[in-house]
Amino acid sequence: MLVGHSCRVRDGRITPVGFLAKQRFTRFESVSVSTLEQVCSVSECIASTPPMATYDGRNHLGFYDSEDDARATVSADEVADYELFAFGLLPEGFCQDSRRALPDLMLRGLDGIDLTGWTSLGFDVVADCPSDSFLGCCSPLTCNGLVDRVATNRWGLMESLQQAVDLAEALALDRMPAEPGPFFVVEVLRR
């Protein structure tokens, strides 16, 4: 579980957490949203990481600390099928009874990750993970088809941080069907 119990509340800013190469996924048999161009969610349920992307070299949240390490997971013959994304985390979990800050320990060692020059595509909301990594998480927007029920952008993401926080709170209170919480807000960026 990623939610802390006795943690100080941070300033609400997004904390850079790393990089992943993700599959370009543009087939949408399971969703009916005509404005969706590409799935850019954090989850690997739809847009997966390359087969070479082992857990070796990833940080404790499941991301690579450098662009080069993430890019190295894509073989030469797969370059056209994958693209590099950067991720930032709102360091809070949304539970049924509260919003809780993530433990400082969860964010330790991430200070060197620089997202200068990256452009935000929007914000994903991910359900709790079986481990302390975001790679096993599901995105209710794309994995549970909420992209058909709530306003998202062409990447299947919430347009603003506030919209993502509102969705995370609604999901935590069981106002919409999704994987079990707690829920986390992750910014998705691309060059």
Question: Alpha helices, DSSP H only, in the chain?
Answer: 67-71, 104-107, 161-172
Per the structure block, which two tokens stand in for 11?
Answer: 């300033």
Residue 12's pLDDT band (cuts 50, 70, 90): low
Whole-angstrom distance, CA of residue 126 vs CA of residue 175? 15
- CB–CB of 33/146 below 8 Å? no
183, 125 contact by CB (below 8 A): yes
The whole-angstrom separation of Cα 93 and Cα 73 is: 29
Give per-residue pLDDT as tens, 41-96.
Answer: 888 777 777 777 666 778 878 888 999 999 998 999 999 999 999 999 998 888 88
Domain segments of the chain: what residues? 15-190
pLDDT digits (tens, 9 = 90+) for 123-147: 999 987 655 566 567 888 887 788 8
Global pTM?
Answer: 0.86
Whether the per-residue pLDDT at 121 is higher than 90: the answer is yes
Specify the pLDDT at position 36: 81
Over its C-alpha atoms, the chain yields an Rg (Å, rounded) of 16
pLDDT band at 27 (very low <50, low <70, confident <90, very high): low
Strands (E), 12-112: 15-23, 82-89, 92-94, 99-101
Q: Between 5 and 142, name the one with better pLDDT.
A: 142
* Per-residue pLDDT tens over the stretch 170-191: 988 877 777 777 889 999 999 9
Residue 138 CB burial class (10 angstroms; 0-12, 13-18, ≥19): buried
